[in-house]
């Protein structure tokens, strides 16, 4: 039942005459108070104090163009977060709209069950085989990063069972890792807050520490620290028994944890350990993939041979589609000829519209050389950020490509959470969307669309500097 009705008893959300702002942009073709009241009454927001939000009123985004989005009041906001790391080619891309519309008209949906599929689905699997590192050339599609990781959990456990090792079913992830919010995704992740609700993690998932040298390295040389943190995996495997450990999963760069760039020794050592103990290696590329770090996939910066990767977010440029990609050999070993079917699916997997959009999105990333651009612009951004000064905070900078974090700490090393949240609030008033990252919400993440210009980034960095100067 609707909880919000207008005085005459009809649903209150009338459409007013469109009002144009100075740029001729439609700013309120809806009744904002009514829409906010409906939102407060009927829409549960994730990661949010819903009661407080109901009082304050939701921000309603109305359109996007390039690196900017517009809100309900016509404010133009530079989105330093690319949505949620999704919109690498920017907002308002006609190519994506055309691809989606054409596919919708031609064939709006067909499933990939019952020995069927659609043309864009096949073409996208071939494209991913071409782009993915090493011998990864076989895709299973899903609808979100979380589902891709749920799929990986089932796939890997099934794989080992078929090899005659059903007891090899333990996954090792990392504290503060993020792999989604479904039962398996949140369990594989190491966010304690997420484990609190719903009885997680599920059994047979263990976590080790992250290679967070910036915060936990102390006096240790980064290379030594990287090796030491990787060897936690070896110790954990030996403690549990290599015959019981199925896989290690980790983000090449931990995004939600606060942009943790691992020391260069970390992943090669992880790779060695996984190979030595016959543990599958699974980099989660949901954030890092599709150019974010200056390569198509972040594992390409490292000397590793992954067994599976999971993809999502910027795969389509803003539409729900994800995938896990393994080698044909691994899939053949999991489902040897005529011994069984992959008993796992979802109605919308490999959706033709999403796949058509992903193909258009990848072609744009390619045509505009955005992967290389991410690397180059990211270097410039980090140089600019390193010159920032604050009277009250110490601000280590780290990043790779356009995945950059500015951490705010107090001089005694404690996280400057209040300062970071205050800064983000003031930046929003100045037209910049930043989100706080990290366990203590003290990392300002710079992860804009890869089309961002140095001038646009310069404006954002200047605004950060001015706000830092304006506050004690």
Residue 146 contacts ligand PMP per CB under 6 A: yes
Q: Which is nearer to ligand PMP, 316 or 419 (CB)?
A: 316
Dihedral Cα 385, 386, 391, 392, nearest 10 deg: 80
Residue 437 contacts ligand PMP per CB under 6 A: no
Q: Which is nearer to ligand PMP, 23 or 44 (CB)?
A: 44
The two tokens of residue 359 are 């193909």
**Which of 234, 284, 364, 437 contacts ligand PMP by CB under 6 A?**
284
- Whole-number Å distance between alpha carbons of 391 and 298: 35
The helix or strand, by DSSP H or E, that contains position 138, with its residue range, turns out to be strand 136-142
Q: Which is nearer to ligand PMP, 227 or 292 (CB)?
A: 292
Closest approach, Cβ 224 to ligand PMP, in A, equals: 27
Residues 178-217: x where in contact with ligand PMP by CB under 6 A, - otherwise, as a string: xxx----x--------------------------------
Residue 252 contacts ligand PMP per CB under 6 A: no
Q: What does the angle CA 449 – CA 349 – CA 153 come to, to the nearest 5 degrees?
A: 90
Segment interacting with ligand PMP (CB under 6 A) among 14-22, 44-52, 251-259, 292-300: 251-259
Residue 307 near residue 330 (C-beta atoms within 8 A): yes
**Which of 79, 251, 295, 439 contacts ligand PMP by CB under 6 A?**
251
- Number of residues counted as binding ligand PMP (CB under 6 A): 14
Residues 331-360: x where in contact with ligand PMP by CB under 6 A, - otherwise, as a string: ------------------------------
Residue 1 buriedness (CB in 10 A; 0-12 / 13-18 / 19+): exposed
Residue among 384, 402, 302 nearest 87 (CA): 402
What is the DSSP secondary structure assignment for residue 262, as one 8-state letter?
P
Q: How many helices (H) and strands (E) does the chain have?
A: 16, 15
Residue 145 contacts ligand PMP per CB under 6 A: yes
Residue 283 contacts ligand PMP per CB under 6 A: no
Residue among 75, 72, 101, 77 nearest 91 (CA): 77
Sheet architecture: strand order including 245-250: 205-208, 170-174, 245-250, 280-283
Q: Which is nearer to ligand PMP, 255 or 390 (CB)?
A: 255
Peptide bond into 201 cis (omega under 30): yes
Segment interacting with ligand PMP (CB under 6 A) among 233-241, 249-257, 358-366, 460-468: 249-257
Closest approach, Cβ 27 to ligand PMP, in A, equals: 30
Binding site for ligand PMP (CB under 6 A): 144-146, 178-180, 185, 251, 255-256, 284, 286-287, 312
């Amino acid at each position: 039942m609707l909880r919000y009705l207008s005085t005459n008893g009809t649903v209150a959300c009338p459409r007013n005459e469109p009002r144009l702002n100075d740029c001729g942009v439609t700013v309120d073709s809806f009744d904002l108070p009514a829409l906010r009241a409906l939102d407060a009454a009927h829409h549960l927001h994730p990661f949010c104090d819903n009661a407080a939000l109901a009082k304050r009123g939701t921000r309603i985004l109305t359109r996007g163009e390039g690196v900017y989005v517009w809100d309900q009041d016509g404010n133009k906001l530079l989105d330093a977060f690319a949505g949620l790391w999704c919109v690498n080619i920017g907002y308002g891309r006609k190519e994506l709209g055309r691809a989606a519309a054409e596919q919708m008209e031609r064939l709006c949906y067909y499933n990939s069950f019952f020995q069927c599929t659609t043309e864009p689905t096949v073409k996208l699997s071939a494209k991913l085989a071409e782009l993915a590192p090493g011998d990864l050339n076989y895709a299973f599609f899903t609808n979100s990063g979380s589902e891709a990781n749920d799929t990986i959990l089932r796939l890997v456990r099934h794989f080992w069972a078929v090899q005659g090792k059903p007891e090899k079913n333990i996954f090792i992830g990392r504290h503060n890792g993020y792999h989604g919010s479904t039962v398996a995704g949140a369990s594989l992740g190491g966010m304690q807050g997420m484990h609190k609700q719903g009885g997680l993690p599920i059994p047979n998932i263990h976590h080790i520490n992250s290679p967070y040298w910036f915060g936990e390295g102390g006096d240790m040389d980064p290379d030594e620290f990287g090796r030491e943190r990787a060897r936690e995996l070896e110790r954990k495997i030996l403690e549990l028994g290599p015959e019981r450990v199925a896989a290690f999963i980790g983000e090449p760069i931990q995004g939600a944890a606060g942009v943790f760039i691992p020391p260069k020794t970390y992943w090669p050592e992880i790779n060695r350990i996984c190979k030595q103990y016959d543990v599958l290696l699974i980099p989660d590329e949901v954030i890092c993939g599709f150019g974010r770090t200056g390569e198509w996939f972040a594992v390409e910066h490292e000397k590793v041979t992954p067994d599976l990767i999971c993809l999502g977010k910027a795969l389509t440029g803003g539409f729900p589609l994800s995938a896990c990609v393994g080698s044909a050999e691994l899939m053949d070993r999991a489902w040897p000829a005529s011994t069984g079917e992959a008993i796992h699916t979802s109605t919308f997997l490999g959706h033709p519209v999403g796949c058509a959009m992903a193909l258009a999105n990848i072609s744009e990333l390619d045509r505009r050389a955005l992967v290389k651009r991410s690397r180059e612009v990211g270097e410039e951004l980090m140089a600019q950020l390193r010159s920032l000064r604050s009277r009250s905070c110490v601000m280590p900078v780290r990043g790779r490509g356009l995945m950059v974090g500015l951490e705010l700490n107090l001089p005694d090393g404690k996280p400057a959470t209040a300062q970071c949240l205050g800064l983000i609030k003031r930046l929003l008033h100045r037209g910049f969307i930043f989100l706080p990252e990290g366990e203590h919400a003290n990392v300002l993440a710079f992860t804009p669309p890869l089309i961002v210009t140095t001038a646009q980034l310069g404006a954002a960095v200047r605004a950060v500097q001015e706000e830092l100067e304006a506050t004690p």
